[in-house]
Chains A and B, each alone.
Chain A
Amino acid sequence: SYELTQPPSVSVSPGQTASITCSGDELGDKFAFWYQQRPGQSPVVVIYEDTKRPSGIPERFSGSNSGNTATLTISETQAMDEADYYCQAWDGSTPYVFGTGTKVTVL
């Protein structure tokens, strides 16, 4: 079965840049999607189709996807960005696969 691997945690200082990776076999041949989940809340999509931001998502959120790795980048990180982040891919044979999740801590 298809697997997506993320680092368990990332720490960042306010105003700095956080990068979260998502690794999977030939992930660049699929779309990567990213979700933010604050404590006690439902996930919210922050990046779709590798690089696109839904309406209402700040410009400081950006994404890339190439080879075996997709990356979510949070620029000028704010305290409100502290959350769990999950990548997701879709494959016709496996349907939906979520990454293992990354806890972002803003110190």
Chain B
Amino acid sequence: QVQLQQWGAGLLKPSETLSLTCVVYGGSFNEYYWNWIRQPPGKGLEWIGEINHSGTTNYSPSLKSRLTISVDRSKKQFSVNLTSVSAADTAVYYCARAKYCYDSSGYSPRGGYYFDYWGQGALVTVSS
């Protein structure tokens, strides 16, 4: 059974750095991309970025300049740092596992990733 457990500081002041970590229990760590997703209060889901076991990252263009995602394979953990936070970064932050799927049976092959396991979420509030 795969479980993702996350933790980090919940209250920040403007201009500080958000830092969260997610640990993976069960399943393979090397076969997936590991993601961060956030959800502002009362709003929809926003993809932040991802990393794989070897450290390859993909970031949301809108956050790229402030974002760093890192991995510790030995501990099956991955972390997110978001610098210079403001009130607009207030959100519930989720870690999630991305699974790849592929289908070549149609008229043209298709592939893609989706999130099959999620962490419990962590509310991060930015307030002076």
Instruction: Assess whether B46 is in contact with A98, with CB atoms less than 8 Å apart.
Output: yes
Q: Is B63 an interface residue (CB 8 A)?
A: no
Residues of A contacting B119 with CB < 8 Å?
Answer: 42
Task: State whether A98 and B118 are in contact (beta carbons under 8 Å apart), knowing that A29-B110, A48-B101 are contacts in the complex.
Answer: no
Interface size (B, Cβ < 8 Å)?
A: 26
Instruction: Assess whether A86 is in contact with B44, with CB atoms less than 8 Å apart.
Output: yes
Contact of A43 among B47, B58, B111, B115 (CB under 8 A): B115
A95 to B36, CA, bound (A): 13
A33 to B103, CA, bound (A): 14
Instruction: Assess whether B121 is in contact with A95, with CB atoms less than 8 Å apart.
Output: no
Q: Is B113 an interface residue (CB 8 A)?
A: yes
Q: Mark A55-97, 1 if CB is under 8 A from B, else 0.
A: 0000000000000000000000000000000101111000111
A58 to B48, CA, bound (A): 30
Those of B14-62 within 8 Å (CB) of chain A? 35, 37, 44-47, 50, 58, 60-61
**Who on chain A is nearest to B92 by CB?**
A42
Instruction: Assess whether B45 is in contact with A42, with CB atoms less than 8 Å apart.
Output: no
Q: Closest CB-CB distance, A48 to chain B, in whole Å?
A: 5
Q: Is B74 an interface residue (CB 8 A)?
A: no
Residues of A contacting B50 with CB < 8 Å?
Answer: 95
Instruction: Assess whether B110 is in contact with A96, with CB atoms less than 8 Å apart.
Output: no
A97 to B62, CA, bound (A): 13
Q: List 17 A-B contacts (CB under 8 A).
A: A1-B61, A30-B110, A31-B101, A31-B110, A31-B114, A35-B115, A43-B118, A45-B116, A48-B101, A48-B116, A86-B44, A89-B112, A90-B111, A90-B112, A96-B35, A97-B47, A100-B44
New contact pairs (20) apart from A42-B121, A49-B103, CB-CB < 8 Å: A29-B108, A29-B110, A31-B110, A31-B112, A33-B114, A35-B115, A43-B45, A43-B94, A48-B101, A49-B101, A86-B45, A90-B112, A90-B113, A90-B114, A96-B98, A96-B113, A98-B44, A98-B45, A99-B44, A101-B45
